[in-house]
Amino acid sequence: MTIALLLLLCVAVAVPIARRRWWSFQAQSPADLAKAGPTFDLKEQLNGPILCEGLIYGPTGRVTSRFVADMVGSWEGDTCTLRERFHYDSGTVQDRVWTFHLAPGGRIRAEAPDVVGTGTGQAAGAAVQMNYNIKLTPAAGGHVLAVNDWMYLMENGTIMNRSQFSKFGITVAELVATLRKVPA
């Protein structure tokens, strides 16, 4: 009886770990999309004015917030400054500034005032993947969350963004957004 219980416990622990590692959003890698769709050129896609619209889902999968953001990307060599102004459905306005540094092979380093340390990323084919730790505002609890952030370039130039936020390996929020260049 004890061996059967131990075996059942091992399976109960192994299945969620295997699912997360091999069969989930977290299991994607930039290489999976290296040859899919149009090429995501950050200097082109994140340049000039961009309109972003999105939803934030809480840990139960329900929408907890909606937002519209105006963004402007500007480049100096291989460094991008992306200024963002978010307007949330609660009436809150949030300003953020990202600095992206491109390196050979599609590697990316990213910094922002609310990012703890430096984010890292990879551009490959139609996708860009970033990993970083973000510190939430005091009003949102002040927690530091690990972020797995993916942007996918669609054939019409729209960028689809999906980010999962986790704490202690447990997904606590998800963001889904579109980014579209504003016509000149």
Q: Over the stretch 43-90, which tens digit does the pLDDT of each residue have?
A: 999 999 999 999 999 999 999 999 999 999 999 999 999 999 999 999
pTM comes to 0.81
Containing 7, the helix (H) or strand (E) segment is helix 2-22
Percent of the chain past pLDDT 70, that is, above it, reads 85
In this predicted model, what pLDDT tens digit does every residue of 136-146 receive, in sequence order? 988 888 999 99
For residues 99 and 18, which has the higher predicted lDDT (pLDDT)? 99
| Mean pLDDT of the chain, nearest integer | 88
Task: Report residue 18 CA to chain centroid gap.
Answer: 22
β-strand pairing of 144-153 with 93-102 = unpaired
CA distance 150 to 6: 38
Which residue segments constitute the domains of the chain, with CATH numbers given? 29-181 (2.40.128.20)
- Within 10 angstroms of residue 140's Cβ, the number of other Cβ atoms is 13
In this predicted model, what pLDDT tens digit does every residue of 30-48 receive, in sequence order? 565 556 678 889 999 999 9
CA distance 123 to 111: 16
Is pLDDT above 90 for 120? yes
